[in-house]
Structure 1
């Protein structure tokens, strides 16, 4: 392949060099001709005849060529002038005894045709190639190739990714291993009558590794890999997207066995239902894609992989078996998966032996592969900043905080009053969490402002991975969220804007309990909302009337009020502890979970001791 490409390039550039040489030769020829000839006016020509300076005159249709007599000290250039309507010209030449006749025919018809027609055509073609070639490079695509395929093609083993580079998605890898094995050993499957799946749709939230999985399939199979985005098919010219689809599948069948990967396929695969704009460009492109996926033979080894995080908007005809036979879910990794992903990304980073990646995995529930890769990189950057040769646990933990809350904002200086309010607010969250049974343990409390807007925060880390949450646990989560505002009310008897995010999250959780999880006695198990764009923002959509929505608001408010009162009661009963921990936080600015829990437990022990003393005193008095 390389030699053929080299020879074709050599031949192409050889033609360009030959054209350039031909142009230079003709230009030099004209230049030399101009050196030997000189243009004169007709009046001067007649004057030369009268002065007997002309030896011979050659007459053509449009000019007169005069060959002067060779005299020393004078120029011997051939003279020429325009032929004018002079009936006495021949008489003047005869009188001066000057030889005259027609111009000798030197140019052959072939040479004249080449000079007048072929050469200008070649020159303009060459200039056009040079000009449009430069524009193509600047624009990133061919000016005259609107309908051409723009997929990036990787040759065998060029993706540089295998299944060893993909962690935390074992189920997804298992679904794709069969495709790789089929491309390696097709006879095993064809002997029993099995057919290669035409396509697999990778579905999951952003950053979970869908594109990485597709590259790993190509790397494992060792076949050509076509990679293109769905938006590359959308053009302003009608029909261009469909043309690119045709060209892509034509190239894929020529390169078979191969893998075609279409990223963000929802750009062209949106449902045609309810489309009143007519037969637009996107619909034509989708129709062509459907036809091509039906038309090619999967036994040749062409596999279509596509990725999207919006499967609910895709056209039903695109999702049916025979087009995309498999839907591979690439979801957020669990605890074990997060630890494996951290290990993969830590391979190229110098990390201390004492570093505990399992603790980082526990502290990042809900994180995807891209988040975890970013955490490792942030930790490495922090280690370099602190002049360390390797990444330590402190770097990793700080990186998690940077991803969650942003960097420390050192230029934001709070007044003593605001600082005190923030301290009581955060301790209110932490204390409610510590004194309830079904909440996650407190890991850290800080009142250091962060760049993402937080003036302080309380970090809770789950002790175990949870997939189900009970009603009691959700109620206690809301109590923890409202604990900050409750602490402000108890200590300062006022309210501030610091609880805005807590109120938003608490309201959303309470509404979900009523409308989606059937945790309200008023509505029992009636589904009043459904999730739209599950893998993106997960925004709920109401499936009820306006009257029912008003009752949902009432039930949501009821839950929030109940949780708010419970938080206030807990903090009032532990007012001394709230003040004590807040004063300690004001002094140190950051409290780690161990120290906080120790203060809570020591307070409980002292309470227990006081109760025993009171009991003893009462007993002796009665005795």
Structure 2
């Protein structure tokens, strides 16, 4: 911490060191150069003829003896003393008689030196304040720039992003192409009496390329691009955010046609009056000013305001009414084809082995966003460089994917043989149930390598992406989740904490089947309400259940029935194939990881 402070304030530290040196030098020069003696002692040494030479400087006398003398039990040869204020007319005659060499110097003026020494700490303080002010100015946080526009303006002529730089997201590109057409030729739409939306909201999970899409629109249209995040408007002073909004739109009008992009708009656009603690004055004033500015500029000004969020459910309804952010474009997680395009895009400048199959990798990375894929390939590159390889193999890519999905390997974790055996049977139970059930996703790999997020894992990847989940698929998925607990019960006649996450996920899915999807016997065609949690505590307390307490008890029983059926199905499969369970668990103990093909081979299933 001290080293970091010294590096950041090197000039201040040097100046402080110089000040301390000068102060110490002045002290040493004044008190350690010679021995201070009394005037009487000086006269006595003169009468003895022991004084060799003296230097008279005003009232100060400095001299040197021929032989050492003692004063106050201290031996000295160099001395200093002062002339009496009333003078000594006989001194010069005594010095002549004793043959003392006398040197004279003009009286020095120490007032300036004392002024410098006294003012130096004050100068240090002013210098420190000035440097801090310059640092705040460099970060855009100067005292006189608190309310200025904090948006970063990109010059499309120097840094241009187009739709070619954005892989996938075809539906979003089609919607945004209208914005490009309007900015490049606004008369085409206006002559037909049409109006382009003033505000466009990009909604999607993190890492799906919402910011990149907004910049691509500006690049395609060749217009200015103002980029700012919702948190940039917030400040400790009330009213600063509103002023920054006004300045942002003023700068946009000067650079029209242009695009204003507000990322993470939920930082200032949260629903007003929600929760128990009341509103935040600064955020609400900023939001009110933004809504006012959206209503204030006209279509002919050629300004498009775009925003992005991954939490549209918490936004204030006033943001999405007609005339404001009335066009909502969903940017979904990439499909298999989109992931393939992204992989080709991110591997253009990477050296891949011939064995790397990007089509297979696209199918095996369901649920990955574009940012996840880029991160995975970068991690694989680092792993290949660590091994001094000239290219990236499928092994590095798979290791990087496991690192993202399950965390780092825990090399320092030492498990007992009993714990390893328990984990091996647990994961073997998951994988065997998944291998035998017809509607379950194919097993890709089973591992008992301990990682930061789990002690083992069974990876299943669907053959094709699913958008609708049949009841049979969900029932088989629940049985696979129960496979680990069933194996523990069947082999060891016990239950462990290793099944905690399985039980949580299974219970959540079973509750959704009852409450939302109408997949239970007693509530087969009813949606009783959401099983999710409310975003705001105030909403959760203020919104009561849509069903009675008796129905709530019936729901719990239905959830319990679904989970028990899943457990019984898994237990039946493992009981009938106990030998395969033992063989797979032993294979895991021997190799720690078993590929999906080996799992199906042990189970006696041909694929």
**TM-score, scaled to structure 1:** 0.72
**What's the secondary structure of 1:288's corresponding residue?**
helix
Shifted more, 244-253 versus 295-304: the winner is 295-304
Deviations 1:121-166 (A, max 9, x none): xxxxx99996675152366412122221111111223444221121
Cα distance between partner residues in 1 of 2:242 and 2:154: 23
Change (3 A) 1:550 1:318: same
- Whether 1:557 aligns to 2:560 is yes
Aligned to 1:70: none
Change (3 A) 1:546 1:373: farther
Deviations 1:334-374 (A, max 9, x none): 11111111221112222223311121121121111111111
Alignment map for 1:129-208 (pairs within 5 Å): 133-137=133-137, 140-208=140-208
The count of aligned residue pairs is: 477
- Whether 1:522 aligns to 2:522 is yes
Distance apart, 1:253 and its partner CA: 0.3
Aligned to 2:457: 457
Q: Give the superposed CA RMSD.
A: 2.8
Report if the CA contact (8 A) 2:163-2:213 is conserved: yes
Report if the CA contact (8 A) 2:140-2:150 is conserved: no
Change (3 A) 1:386 1:329: same
Aligned to 1:227: 227
Aligned to 2:475: 475
Report if the CA contact (8 A) 1:135-1:143 is conserved: no
Cα distance between partner residues in 2 of 1:345 and 1:548: 52
Cα distance between partner residues in 2 of 1:533 and 1:436: 32
Q: Which runs of 5+ in 1 are unaligned?
A: 1-74, 76-125, 606-623
Distance apart, 1:451 and its partner CA: 2.4
Aligned to 1:349: 350
Q: Which runs of 5+ in 2 are unaligned?
A: 1-105, 107-125
**What's the secondary structure of 1:469's corresponding residue?**
coil
Cα distance between partner residues in 2 of 1:160 and 1:553: 56
**What's the secondary structure of 1:341's corresponding residue?**
helix
Report if the CA contact (8 A) 1:444-1:593 is conserved: yes
**What's the secondary structure of 2:459's corresponding residue?**
strand
Report if the CA contact (8 A) 1:200-1:304 is conserved: yes
Cα distance between partner residues in 1 of 2:196 and 2:129: 43
Alignment map for 1:435-446 (pairs within 5 Å): 435-446=436-447
Distance apart, 1:285 and its partner CA: 1.6
Report if the CA contact (8 A) 1:227-1:263 is conserved: yes
Cα distance between partner residues in 1 of 2:279 and 2:462: 52
Aligned to 1:497: 497
Aligned to 1:367: 368
Distance apart, 1:235 and its partner CA: 2.3
Report if the CA contact (8 A) 1:310-1:533 is conserved: no
**What's the secondary structure of 1:331's corresponding residue?**
coil
Deviations 1:6-30 (A, max 9, x none): xxxxxxxxxxxxxxxxxxxxxxxxx
Report if the CA contact (8 A) 1:203-1:328 is conserved: yes
Distance apart, 1:255 and its partner CA: 0.6
Change (3 A) 1:265 1:130: same
Report if the CA contact (8 A) 2:444-2:459 is conserved: yes
Aligned with residue 597 of structure 2, among 590, 594, 598:
594
Change (3 A) 1:278 1:559: closer
Report if the CA contact (8 A) 2:427-2:456 is conserved: yes
Report if the CA contact (8 A) 2:229-2:263 is conserved: yes
- Whether 1:582 aligns to 2:600 is no
Cα distance between partner residues in 2 of 1:183 and 1:516: 44
Alignment map for 1:291-306 (pairs within 5 Å): 291-306=292-307
Report if the CA contact (8 A) 2:270-2:315 is conserved: yes
Aligned to 1:285: 286
Report if the CA contact (8 A) 2:515-2:531 is conserved: no
Report if the CA contact (8 A) 1:195-1:299 is conserved: no
Distance apart, 1:309 and its partner CA: 1.2
Cα distance between partner residues in 1 of 2:288 and 2:502: 48
Aligned to 2:377: 376
Cα distance between partner residues in 2 of 1:400 and 1:128: 49
Report if the CA contact (8 A) 1:204-1:535 is conserved: no
Report if the CA contact (8 A) 2:228-2:262 is conserved: yes
- Whether 1:573 aligns to 2:592 is no
Deviations 1:411-467 (A, max 9, x none): 223211111111111111111111111111111112121122x22111111111111
Shifted more, 368-377 versus 159-168: the winner is 159-168
Aligned to 1:106: none
Distance apart, 1:268 and its partner CA: 1.6
**TM-score, scaled to structure 2:** 0.74
Cα distance between partner residues in 2 of 1:523 and 1:557: 14
Alignment map for 1:399-438 (pairs within 5 Å): 399-438=400-439
Cα distance between partner residues in 2 of 1:283 and 1:535: 18
Distance apart, 1:286 and its partner CA: 1.6
Change (3 A) 1:421 1:278: closer
Aligned to 2:209: 209
Alignment map for 1:40-119 (pairs within 5 Å): none
Report if the CA contact (8 A) 1:511-1:556 is conserved: yes
Deviations 1:37-61 (A, max 9, x none): xxxxxxxxxxxxxxxxxxxxxxxxx
Distance apart, 1:551 and its partner CA: 2.3
Change (3 A) 1:241 1:352: same
Change (3 A) 1:372 1:278: closer
Change (3 A) 1:534 1:173: farther
Change (3 A) 1:278 1:535: closer
**What's the secondary structure of 1:482's corresponding residue?**
helix
Aligned to 2:46: none
Deviations 1:592-620 (A, max 9, x none): 11122122227x99xxxxxxxxxxxxxxx
Cα distance between partner residues in 2 of 1:526 and 1:151: 49
Cα distance between partner residues in 2 of 1:416 and 1:498: 16
Shifted more, 458-467 versus 546-555: the winner is 546-555
Distance apart, 1:548 and its partner CA: 2.9
Report if the CA contact (8 A) 2:429-2:483 is conserved: yes
**What's the secondary structure of 2:604's corresponding residue?**
helix
